[in-house]
Copies of this chain bind each other. A is one copy, B any other.
Amino acid sequence: MGRGVEIESKYRIECGEIETIEAVLRGAGFTFEQESLEVDIYYRHPCRDMLSRDEALRLRVYSGGGGKLTYKGPRMEGGFKAREEIEISLSSVEEARLLLARLGFEEALAVRKRRRYYRGRGVIVTLDSVESLGCFVEIEAGEPESIERVESMLGLRDRRVSETYAEMALKKLRGEG
């Protein structure tokens, strides 16, 4: 569980590059933490257009069981994506799905990905293979300087993308992707 402001940055890569990037991370002393299969379900609010308010309600389901429910606030001004996050840990996700359904929240979109987590130099780096969207690196940190140092080290500075996976998946659904 947690709450606070999350700062992160996302980069589009070729899926073939994942191995090279992992080698660079390990060489720089980063620790591999885990790999997980995650399904992110994004919800439609019963009476509010969360998309136009730049908000999101996401239920993340881990393949190993359990999950978390996250509210993401509007993105703030600035170089990196920063937004409020409020998170509830769930030992089982089925009750949360049912409860949301009873309150009128509809499942709008599901994003499936394999995610590998690395930690080091004050940041968390994830290597994501996202179903039908491709491969990406994400860097998350408490402050922008740490992100800048690691993106330079990985040679990713000019490959930033600002869209969320939910936005990409929505475009794809609408045939714009």
Contact = CB atoms under 8 A, between A and B. Distances in A.
A73 interface: yes
A1 B47 CA distance: 27
Interface in A46-103: 46-48, 55, 57, 69, 71, 73, 84, 86-92, 94-96, 98-99, 102-103
A104 interface: yes
A95 B87 contact: yes
B90 A88 contact: yes
Contacts of A47: 46-48, 104
A85 to B, nearest CB: 10
Interface residues of A, number: 28
A3 B88 contact: no
30 contacts: A1-B90, A1-B91, A1-B92, A1-B95, A3-B94, A3-B95, A3-B98, A45-B46, A45-B103, A45-B104, A46-B46, A46-B47, A47-B48, A47-B104, A48-B104, A57-B103, A69-B99, A71-B99, A71-B103, A84-B102, A86-B95, A86-B98, A86-B99, A86-B102, A87-B95, A88-B88, A88-B90, A88-B95, A88-B96, A89-B91
Interface of A: 1-3, 45-48, 55, 57, 69, 71, 73, 84, 86-92, 94-96, 98-99, 102-104
